[in-house]
Chain A
């Protein structure tokens, strides 16, 4: 049977930023398949040069509207490491809380608004307002809770205000944290309903596996998000200083976002990578979700990244309560931030919702940034998306053209790519 399939999908929908899928097949053979990234570059590494250390994180935050807290934190850690600034335990706890808020917000946005419509066979969340109103309002409730949490800690939901080199310009009041704790406690029932709805439709996720290398922060103390060493399923633990030899960025002509590679042609970062590396340290509520969905480490199905995100939402909700209790037990203190400017180079790494994120700055004796390098999670996933497509597409060729296209789109979506961020 001679059959040609041509796919030229410009701007995959329900993802952050612009990406295209181009595929040609003939008589059951893939002739070409390409993941393209035409996103407009913004040159943040250059924009940061010449800026004062007090402004750097507020500029770097604008790399991404969805993961602006992670960018701020990676930026602050890089500046603090460059200048030898030591921060307090209270600051670390509050920062971890901020990062949890963003992780919940971003994962709920992805699983609830962007991925779930595929499970329900619709084009967006909007028709579900009529057909599955309770599920939609539950998703919104969780999303709002996460945003309120960011607002309380960071002063605003998108582009944090209070996070500064050395500490905070303003810390939340104890009453604010207590009322947040109550809301978090009440959120588990809502979360359980949301995950039940997703679980009931989870068979819509394709069963596709391709083993790859998984990279993310690891720690022997906790499920690493704010801090840790670099972990790889292929090569074990590495110091953060080694990040350049792990990521190995390179430019390809069909993408304004750079690609990376380590031991193989590609590797994966994000919730599934973190789960594969650190699952034993996930809090109880997260473990229960993993069990309900049958997610076990190591998992080589990229579509299960959606499930790993849900696991992390439960983990972050539970760990946030734990952090709030620690903050209240210690008592909140208005700490004066004192920073002494000194020249140096510093690297900051955190786990953004979509994976490990690096900022690397050189700061001069006047406190100005003279060199910046940022390696974004989705940069590190682009090559893996390409390799997955190459392996996944041949299994789809018996399907209709539209179904093939839909499956490839779902694959891209599973990564929750943050493309404008990766192009920065």
Chain B
């Protein structure tokens, strides 16, 4: 029996879901090993009978929270797909502002009180609402990593998600360090897996995959020190994708 797979999205740009389609011909191979039973963006059929659920986006309203819990009840394995799902990602920037403030800025004086569509709370990552079994980081996720995760799960293996910094991949590619161009990069403390795609394009890493689990080690700080920067300088730059009240200024 092929495992049954479902894909769902919450507050997101759907860019992570799009990476499934961006697997191009590989999608045909994946369809051979899994049975997609719910994927609203791509198919009409849907079912509550699935083994693995892939979720993109973060949770911002009670009605989303309810839908997510129903999904968790149906799924044996739940995978948070993309930085929005894993740690709220870009949506974390909203945590600087009150809910009232953001609503007024966008919807002005419109009457939206007691309307469940507009009833937002501060963005929550998927694991702030339900248990998450696996995380695929990135904004967007790397489609090859996604394919590997799917294959691992089908084989009953634990997906291998890197816990070393982007710098490692960047050096493997023999890139010129963007600090040498006078740019700032948080590759030294950001979780790898993207193939250091931003520095490869002469753009500093913006930390979209989040912090490595234990960033405070010598080798990871080496690059920063070479350019006279501290861990705090790097953490400041994490605001864009990893805003956390009180942690990052």
Residue ranges of A at the interface with B (Cβ–Cβ < 8 Å) = 11, 13-18, 38, 40-43, 45-47, 49-51, 55, 58-59, 62-66, 68, 109, 113-114, 117, 123-126, 129, 136-137, 140, 143-144, 147, 155-159, 161-162, 164, 169-170, 250-251, 253-256, 258, 420-421
Contact = CB atoms under 8 A, between A and B. Distances in A.
A325 B91 CA distance: 41
Contacts of B197: 155-156, 161
Contacts of A51: 93, 240
A117 B44 contact: yes
A123 B43 contact: yes
B89 to A, nearest CB: 8
B17 A65 contact: yes
B14 A66 contact: yes
Contacts of A15: 41
27 contacts: A13-B41, A14-B42, A17-B14, A41-B60, A43-B102, A43-B103, A46-B105, A47-B93, A51-B93, A55-B240, A59-B90, A62-B15, A64-B13, A65-B14, A65-B140, A66-B18, A117-B44, A123-B45, A126-B43, A155-B198, A156-B197, A156-B201, A251-B108, A253-B111, A255-B117, A256-B117, A420-B14
A159 B140 contact: yes
B60 A14 contact: no
Interface stretch (B23-31, B146-154, B157-165): B23-31
A188 to B, nearest CB: 19
Nearest to A126: B31
A421 to B, nearest CB: 7
Contacts of B57: 40
Interface string B81-109: 00000000111011011000111011110
Nearest to B60: A40
Nearest to A421: B13
Nearest to A420: B14
Nearest to A133: B28
A253 B115 CA distance: 8
B44 A47 contact: no
B64 A40 contact: yes
Interface string B228-249: 0000000000001000000000
A125 B24 CA distance: 12
B18 A58 contact: no
Given A38-B117, A59-B90, A420 B105 contact: no
Given A43-B103, A46-B105, 13 more contacts: A43-B94, A43-B106, A51-B93, A55-B240, A62-B15, A114-B42, A136-B28, A143-B21, A158-B140, A161-B198, A251-B107, A253-B112, A256-B117
Interface residues of B, number: 63
A125 B39 CA distance: 12
Closest 6 CB pairs of A and B: A65-B15, A124-B43, A251-B110, A123-B44, A155-B201, A40-B11
Contacts of A63: 13
A237 B56 CA distance: 41
Q: Quick one: which of B13, B25, B27, B203 has the most chain A CB within 10 A?
A: B13
Given A11-B40, A63-B13, A147-B22, A161 B201 contact: yes
B15 A68 contact: yes
A22 B189 CA distance: 49
Contacts of B9: 17, 420
For chain A, what secondary structure do more than half of its interface residues adopt (helix, strand, loop), or is it mixed? loop
Contacts of B46: 13
A19 B185 CA distance: 40
A182 B13 CA distance: 33
B106 A158 contact: no
Interface string B46-71: 10000000000100110110000000
A251 B42 contact: no
Contacts of B117: 38, 253-256
Given A40-B61, A256-B118, A65 B44 contact: no
B102 A158 contact: no
Contacts of A114: 42
A169 B203 contact: yes
A59 B206 CA distance: 11
Contact of A169 (B60, B96, B115, B202): B202
Nearest to B99: A43
Contacts of B31: 126, 129
B120 interface: yes
A112 to B, nearest CB: 10
A18 B203 CA distance: 34
Q: Quick one: which of B40, B103, B120 has the most chain A CB within 10 A?
A: B40
Given A13-B44, A65-B17, A147 B24 contact: yes
Contacts of B15: 62, 64-66, 68, 158-159
A158 B94 contact: no
Contacts of A124: 39, 42-45
Contacts of B144: none
Contacts of A170: 201-203
B170 interface: no
Contacts of B120: 40-41
Contacts of A11: 40
A213 to B, nearest CB: 24
A152 B12 CA distance: 25
B8 to A, nearest CB: 10
B12 A420 contact: yes
Contact of A155 (B18, B19, B63, B203): B203
A423 to B, nearest CB: 9
A156 B198 CA distance: 9
Given A14-B41, A420-B14, A42 B22 contact: no
A49 B104 CA distance: 14
Contacts of A42: 11, 60, 91, 94
A65 B127 CA distance: 23
B111 A43 contact: no
A62 B139 contact: yes
B136 interface: no
A66 B42 CA distance: 13
Nearest to A129: B28
B10 interface: yes
